Amino acid sequence: MSKPTMSNYLLESPGMTDLRERATQSQFLSLAGQGRLPPEILSQWLAQDRLYAQAYIRFAGGLISRVQLPIKIGDQDNSKTLQWRILSLLQTALAGVTRELQFFEETAKKYGLDLEGLGPVAEGGNLSNKSAGFAPNKVTQNYIDLFDSFTAQPHGDRDKTLLGGLVVLWATERIYLDAWTYAKQQAEENANTDGDLDGGALRKEFIPNWTSEEFQAFVKECQDCLDAYATIQDEDTEEVGAAEAMCLFKKVLVLEESFWPMVA
């Protein structure tokens, strides 16, 4: 019987189903999919997600610094190797998050949303009535710290591996896709967005973007690169890598559950 891929090992491990459901099926997402999320709450979350995206840029750059490209020998085509494939994936990730930040700006302007975080700021994922300006809340800061632990030296953690980074990359993108797919499923088919509390920003713009075929293909490539890279580890590295991967995957799930604001 063949061994499960790294992604299947993580997804199918005991206790993961419940953690994944809590990370991807929050009340925030349910209201978002129904057009019932108030614009001020959406603005607060977007302001935090924008900080997350900025840290993601450093994270992707740190992973690029960990890719060891093979030396070309003779006439062999190294561009077809797994290392080059991973480098291409990370370049795509950087280009994608850059577009995402521009998309945030354009959509926020179009729908009158606030990306400056000047409204109530969330503490640990819960909405607070105290304004603290544009700064990461506790959960966002924990995400930033996780991303920054993979950044290029001297700021990152020397012990963080490319395998671990690929786990974090895939896990964050997969959970994000699953979460917004769940939100999309909460709306009736061909639902009218005229009465949406946010003016239709989520159901016209954000949700289609975060559930698009292009994004699905990117998430699939993250998974394929992770699984392929995991298979080339030696036995000692594989055992350590599996333990590291499980720890990181659980951490992402716990962070993602708290990243969605608590709403009634």
| pLDDT of 131 | 44
User: Sign (positive/negative) of CA torsion 173, 257, 36, 184?
Assistant: positive
- Where do the domains of the chain lie? 19-69+77-259
pLDDT of residue 156: 57
Contact 253, 167 (CB under 8 A): no
Distance CA 251, CA 14 (A): 15
Phi, psi of 127 (to 5 degrees): -75, 135
Q: Which two tokens stand for residue 66?
A: 């960990």
Question: Residue 160: what pLDDT?
Answer: 86
Q: Considering only CA atoms, which of 176, 194, 53, 43 is closest in space to residue 119?
A: 43
CATH no., domain 19-69+77-259: 1.20.910.10
Compute φ and ψ for 131, nearest 5 degrees: -80, 130
Dihedral pair phi/psi, residue 120, rounded to 5°? -55, 135
Tokens 């964050």 sit on residue: 172
Give the separation between CA 230 and CA 241, rounded to whole angstroms: 8
CA dihedral 254, 177, 208, 212 (to 10 degrees): 160
Tens-level pLDDT at each residue, the chain (264 residues)? 578 899 999 999 999 999 999 999 999 999 999 999 999 999 999 999 999 999 999 999 999 999 998 876 555 666 679 999 999 999 999 999 999 999 999 999 999 999 886 543 344 444 444 444 578 999 999 999 999 999 876 555 667 899 999 999 999 999 999 999 999 999 877 678 899 999 999 999 999 999 999 999 999 999 999 999 999 887 656 666 788 999 999 999 999 999 999 997
Amino acid 237: pLDDT: 63
Considering the entire predicted model, what is its pTM? 0.89
